[in-house]
Amino acid sequence: MRIALGIEYAGTDFCGWQIQSHSRTVQGELQKAVSIVANHPVEVYAAGRTDTGVHGLNQVVHFDTDSVREKRGWLLGINANLPKDVNVTWVQFVDDDFNARFSAIKRSYRYLILNRLSRSSIHQNRMWWHYPPLNIEKMQAAADQLIGRHDFSAFRASECQAKSPIKTLDKIQVSQQQDCIAIDVEALSFLHHMVRNLVGVMAAIGDGSKPVEWAGQVLRSVDRSQGGITAPAEGLYLVDVRYPQQYSIPTVSAFPVLW
């Protein structure tokens, strides 16, 4: 039997998603919990890796097992064996051809910026505190230059293992509610640090350090050294992973983190 799970986690105290022998990871904690409920060793496969400090609202994973449990039994049993900063939100029995990574047709991220003069003790690990005022109209104008299929080498981390820097960005939308700014990004797949590097460029344009046209110049340079800073991990959320309707993969509410 193949089973898919929706996973939510606060990434602050994890060294990313991927299991490591020397560090605490989301995959490591999840595999231990699933193996206890399944009563045999289990390896879980995710829709995508997230870095240290990055959060997940609907990370999707799958695993195989011979153990028979109801959905409720899997959900409650796994959650009972997980730490408080990670949990299962849904369970779905899927066909054997389902793959959490390769069956995905869209991935969505949101980056949150707290844009005010004072820092926040509540949101210190949930948003990037950027105190210089940001102009979201300029940020959106910068983002519009990056939509579509391009060579995103200038927004790619040096340790990125992707075979090609060519990606297609379907959406970059900047919105604001009071002193919180959200940047929503959608694509089939992303390069390592791509979203955070996009945000770094957009923030420099939003606070007036760079002109709007700089975003296109950085993109065309295909040179990471021409870009801006890599925005901090704490503002980034893997919001959702979408699949063909045949798999009936659930979606979850992101409230109150997102509006």
Binding positions are 109
**Rounded distance, CA 253 to CA 259, Å?**
10
Token representation of residue 82 = 């997980």
**Rounded distance, CA 236 to CA 99, Å?**
24
Q: Give the HSE-up count for residue 14: Cα atoms under 13 Å, Cβ half-sphere.
A: 28
Which parts are annotated binding residues for substrate?
A: 109
**Rounded distance, CA 200 to CA 88, Å?**
32
Catalytic residue among 13, 51, 85, 170: 51
**Rounded distance, CA 14 to CA 134, Å?**
30
- Chain-centre distance of CA 1, in angstroms? 27
Residue in 175, 156, 176 with CA at minimum distance from that of residue 167:
156
Q: For the chain, how many residues are written?
A: 259
51 is catalytic: yes
Q: Helices H, strands E: what count in the chain?
A: 5, 10
Residue in 37, 226, 41, 202 with CA at minimum distance from that of residue 128:
202
Say if CB 240 and CB 108 are below 8 A apart.
yes
Instruction: Report, as residue numbers or ranges, the catalytic residues.
Output: 51
